[in-house]
Structure 1
Amino acid sequence: MTDSVQRDSAVLVHFTLKLADGSTAESTRDNGKPALFSLGDGSLSEQLEDELLGLHPGDKKAFSLQPEAAFGSASPDLVQYFSRRDFTQAGEPELGAIMLFSGMDGNEMPGVIRGISGDSITVDFNHPLAGQVIHFDVEVLEIDPVREARNANPVG
């Protein structure tokens, strides 16, 4: 049992993500629902986890991460071009709209409509925040040592 964030902690946090222009990209405070991060499970970048290590419940921290440490760099390979006839069932796409596409593996993936020109529609499958420096404002609400105990002593 620990009172600070460790490499294998589950951490309940409120966070706000801001872009370089100061606009808010996402905030758990807006909907009043904090997020649960599980360090060490691969869902967070190593740099983000490093920023959380050692924090205690009630601690607040502001920091910035470069694109590679946040949502990745934008890849031109993830921008694809479709024919307008590919959208006959989905309807006329709108610039900036996020649509779900079926991948070759059958999984759905979101794509943003970036361009519409004649019969060509440009879809960007990069994360919407890829390629951007992200400014984090994090408040640790709770550290969940019960999760660590559950993993160490499986029931059943």
Structure 2
Amino acid sequence: MQQVKNGDTVKVHYHGKLTDGTTFDSSEGREPLEFEVGAGMMIPGFDSGVVGMSVGEKKTINISAEEAYGPFQDDLLMEFPMDRFPPDMKPEVGMTLSMSNGQGQQFPVVITDVKEDAVVLDANHPLAGKELIFDIEMVNIEGKSPLIIMP
């Protein structure tokens, strides 16, 4: 029976939850997730967690924060002056905004605190610092095509 190895393209159904049981993502009702194992398309713990699985196999994997979205970084919290917001905008805790860095790249931030003269923005990934649990079902495995084919 074929087992997943790096370089294979796989399709999986998954249910992602936090250690308190809260679901943060699931493929339920959608097409299975397709990705190339080992290509850096997935968080490291998910990528390595499917290696060795066979079609039809189900398993649960626990992924540490370090193997998921990394630790929560305090240096990604920043105060942004209230007078830099458009006058018609009322910042609220939980609101997601898009910021631009010096190179023109956009990244999401979440308002975590609204003070009188500033707003605290968090640029961490929403799942940073969290252990993740995935229930995975292997749906399909396609081995990588050889680069050289013998005639």
Range with bigger deviation, 31-40 or 116-125: 31-40
The one-letter amino acid paired with 1:93 is P
Of 30, 33, 36, which residue of structure 2 is paired with 1:35?
Answer: 33
1:16 aligns with 2:28: no
CA distances 1:7-28 after superposition (whole Å, capped 9, x unpaired): 1111111111111211101111
Provide structure 1 residue ranges, at least 5 long, that are not aligned to the other structure.
none
State the partner residue of 1:5: 4
1:26 aligns with 2:6: no
Q: What percent of counterpart residues are identical?
A: 30
Provide structure 2 residue ranges, at least 5 long, that are not aligned to the other structure.
none
Q: How many residues align?
A: 148
> 1:6, 1:113 → 2: CA distance?
41
Of 32, 47, 50, which residue of structure 1 is paired with 2:48?
Answer: 50
> 1:64, 1:52 → 2: CA distance?
12
> 2:27, 2:135 → 1: CA distance?
11
Q: CA RMSD in A?
A: 1.9
1:121 aligns with 2:127: no
> 1:49, 1:19 → 2: CA distance?
18
Name whichever structure is richer in helix by fraction. Answer: 1
1:152 aligns with 2:129: no
Deviation at 1:41, TM superposition (A): 1.4
> 1:115, 1:33 → 2: CA distance?
38
Q: What is the TM-score when the length of structure 1 is the normalising length?
A: 0.86
> 1:130, 1:75 → 2: CA distance?
8
Contact 2:100 2:107 in 1 (8 A): yes
The one-letter amino acid paired with 1:24 is T
